[in-house]
Amino acid sequence: MAHQAHAYHMVDPSPWPLTGAIAALLMTSGLAVWFHFHSTTLMTLGLILLLLTMHQWWRDIIREGTFQGHHTPPVQKGLRYGMILFITSEVFFFLGFFWAFYHSSLAPTPELGGCWPPTGITPLDPFEVPLLNTAVLLASGVTVTWTHHSIMEGERKQAIQSLTLTILLGLYFTALQAMEYYEAPFTIADGVYGSTFFVATGFHGLHVIIGSTFLAVCLLRQIQYHFTSEHHFGFEAAAWYWHFVDVVWLFLYVSIYWWGS
C-alpha cells in the first residue's frame, strides 16, 4: 500500500465545491428573480443546497481530521492561517460599515438637521439593553476561555458546562437584540441613521448566530470525545471567531450606541 513521504494532506476528490458554487449561483439569481418576478423558489433551492453543502463539507473535514488523522502539525498550521485570514477579511467587511457610519455622522448634512442623531430620531438609551448586551458578550468571552482551559486540562464535564453557558449567553444576546429591533422607535427606512444602525448591527447579529452555531457544533463534538487536550483546533477556531464577534460589538456599542446618541 502506497504511503506519502510528507506530512501534508492530499484531499480526496470532493463534489462540495461544485455544489457550493451552484448554490451561490442559485441564491444570487434567485434574489434577482424574487425582486423582479416575485417568486422565491430559486432562492430557496439555493439556500437548501448551501445548507447541504456546508453540512457535508464540514462533516468531511471532521472525518479527515479526527477519524483519519490527516491534521498533522503542518496541516493544522495551514488551518490556523486560514481561519486568521478569514477573520481578517470579516474585519474589513465591518470596517466598511463603520466607514459609512462615520462618514454620515461626523459631518451631518442640512437634510438631517445638521446634527447627529438626525432631527426626529430618538436613539436607544445606551445604558439600558445595549449595556446588558455588552455585559452578556463580555461574560461569554470569559466562559469560552474557561472552556478552552477545561479542554486543555482534560476536564470534560467543566468544558461541557462552560461551553453550554457560552452558547446560552449568545442566544440570550440574540433574543435581547431581537426584542430591541422590535421595540425600536426608528426603522431601517429612517434615513441614513436607520440604514447605518440596522445594517451594521444586523450583520453583527448574523455573525452572533453563526458563531453560536459554530460553538454548538463544538459542544456536540466535545460530548462525542472528538477533542483531546492537545488537539482541538475546531474549538479554537470557534473561540477566535467568537472573540472577533465580541470585539465588533464593543466597537458598535461605543461608536453607534454611545457616541452616536
Partner 1 sequence: MFRHFLTLQQVSRRQISSTVRRQLVNKVPDKQKLFQEANGMPVHLKGGVSDAVLYRATMGLTVLGTAYVIYELVKAALPQKKG
Q: How many Å apart are CA 32 and CA 43, to the nearest integer?
A: 9
CB of 183 to partner 1, least distance (A): 31
Among 80, 226, 231, 243, binds partner 1 (CB under 8 A): 226
CB of 106 to partner 1, least distance (A): 42
Whether the CB-CB separation of 151 and 143 falls below 8 Å is answered with no
Read off φ and ψ for residue 128, nearest 5 degrees. -105, -120
CB of 236 to partner 1, least distance (A): 19
Euclidean distance between the first and the last CA atom of the chain, given in angstroms as a whole number: 68
Q: Which is nearer to partner 1, 68 or 109 (CB)?
A: 68
Among 7, 18, 107, 179, binds partner 1 (CB under 8 A): 18
Report which of 211, 177, 212 is spatially closest to residue 197, judged by C-alpha positions: 177
Whether the CB-CB separation of 46 and 26 falls below 8 Å is answered with yes
160 binds partner 1 (CB under 8 A): yes
> SS3 of 225, please?
coil
User: For partner 1, what does the binding mask look like between residues 23 and 42, x meaning CB under 8 A?
Assistant: x-xx--xx-xx--xx---xx
Size of the site for partner 1 (CB under 8 A): 46
User: For partner 1, what does the binding mask look like between residues 66 and 95, x meaning CB under 8 A?
Assistant: xxxx--------------------------
CB of 174 to partner 1, least distance (A): 19
Residue 167's CB is within 10 A of a number of other CB atoms, namely 23
CB of 240 to partner 1, least distance (A): 24
**Using a CB cutoff of 8 Å and minimum separation of 24, what contacts does 211-215 make?**
211/170, 211/238, 211/241, 211/242, 211/245, 212/167, 212/170, 212/171, 212/174, 214/238, 214/241, 214/242, 215/144, 215/163, 215/166, 215/167, 215/170, 215/242
Binding segment for partner 1 (CB under 8 A), chosen from 13-21, 95-103, 118-126, 243-251, is 13-21
Find where cell 476561555 sits.
145
Among 31, 58, 60, 139, binds partner 1 (CB under 8 A): 60
Q: Which is nearer to partner 1, 65 or 123 (CB)?
A: 65
Q: Which residues bind partner 1 (CB under 8 A)?
A: 1, 11-16, 18-19, 22-23, 25-26, 29-30, 32-33, 36-37, 41-42, 45-46, 48-49, 52-53, 56, 60, 63-64, 66-69, 156-157, 160-161, 164, 219-220, 223-226
